[in-house]
Structure formats: structure tokens, C-alpha cells
Structure 1
Amino acid sequence: MNGVDQGKKTIVVFACHWCAYSAADLAGIRRMEYPESVHIVRVMCSGMVHPQWVMEAFSLGASGVLIMGCRPGECHYKDGNLRADARRVVVHEMMEAMGLEPERFRVVWCASSEAERFVEACRDMVRQVQDLDNGRG
């Protein structure tokens, strides 16, 4: 996460290698554009993303964090994506303690063939963060 620029609005995306990262790759192949403020961190499974990683991204200056993993029932590690989703509550509690709006964090499911879903999730997160920063959240 060394690439988080504290002077710019940054969205950190922890992307599952098998699905979300492949969808991002497909989006690139198709020359689909998503905001340059999106920084992708490839992880083998969304279930590997510890809540502390999310909080570290925020402490390093991220404006929003997405965890993107395989669709339920399609996880290459059986239930990693469900573990990631279960951690959402813990992350929201930690964010509240830091004074951050819970809308700055999301868990999104994305199949490897869903480049459009990947791009739209990134665009939507950027819009949400901009609205929060402008007092419209």
C-alpha cells in the first residue's frame, strides 16, 4: 500500500486473484476506464483481508476501501468470501471508533467474467466517497 497518495482521494481495492483481479484484467483488455484514484491490491482470497489491513489503508490516506471477491458459492477456497463478508461488522465498528463513515467500506462480489461489474463498483465507490467528502453522504 505504499502507493496511497495522501494528497489525493484514493480508493484501495483488495481484489481476489481468482475473480475480481481477473475481472480488472479483463476490463483492461477491453480498454474499459475506471477512475485513476483506484489502486488495486491483489490478494489470493478476499477472506485473507484482515480488518487491520482495511484500517491501515485508511490510516495511510485512503478515502475508501473495497474488498472484491468471488461470488458466494464460487470461492476457490470454499468460504473465504463469506469470511470477508462476516468481517464487515468488525470493520464498521473499527471505522466508527476512528470517526469514519461506514459507507467508505464495501464488500462486493464479482466473477472473473464481470469486467463491467468491477468497473461500475469502482466508479460507484468513487462517487460515494466524493458525496461523503462534499457532505452529501
Structure 2
Amino acid sequence: MAEIKPMLCKMVLNKMGDKYAGSTIRQVYIAMGTMLKSALMNDLIAKHPMNGVRYTKPIRAVEDNKYLTVEEQQKFLEAAKRSRSYFQFALILETGLRTGELIGLTWDAIDWEKRTLTVNKTLEYRYKQGPLAKRRACKKQCL
């Protein structure tokens, strides 16, 4: 561990740049920093090698965004009709909800007269921790 220097950390992140998304590299950056901070706290290293190391690849470039065409959506929903989750898939496609927003919905989030959904929380599942709720407010128009 004592041989890990800032240049090596930067080199690892740079090598990832061509093959991995910015969000993946960011997670590695965070994990490396956390691991090395722990090593510093436990006197395994004298200096934190990530100090001064920055990585600036955008988390998501515009060209990284992939969208289904209307035809692809229709094919997807046709195949999804055989699934118990058909209505969930249809709602996600129709509203743009994220999966965590969908599973966090409750009946009081629906205003039938205004035809709106109010997303006030998202749910996520973390292994060994179980479900977690995060508060977030926004409105999405239902069609």
C-alpha cells in the first residue's frame, strides 16, 4: 500500500476512461478514496495518495443516452403482455418514471382529476440493508 502514489491513482482512472461510463469511474474514484482513507487511519500509509487526484469525465454524455423508438416501445410492450409486470412497464414508458420512483408510488400520489402523479419518494434496495426510502418531490404528467 505504501507504494501507491497519486500518479498511479490517476493512471488507473485514466485507463478506465475509454471503456467505462463516467458514473462507473466516479464510483471507483469514491471506492479508492474510501479504501485509502481507511488505510491512512489505520497507519498503513503515511499520506493519502488520492489527495489532489481529480477525475472529470462527465457522468453521462449526451451520446450515452439511449432511447427506445416508438416502434421499439410497441414491440417491448407486446412482449411484456406475457409478464405480470406489464402495467408497470407501460407506466414507466408512458411517464418516464425511474424504477425506484415507480416502486415508491402510493395511491395518494395520484391526482385523478388533474391527471398527475406526484413523486415524493424513491425506493432502492441495498443488499444486506433491505429497502430504503429517499424523499424527492416532483410531478410527472399522466396521459
Under a length normalisation based on structure 1, what TM-score does the superposition of the two structures give? Answer: 0.26
Q: Which has the higher contact order (CA 8 A, sep 6+)?
A: 1
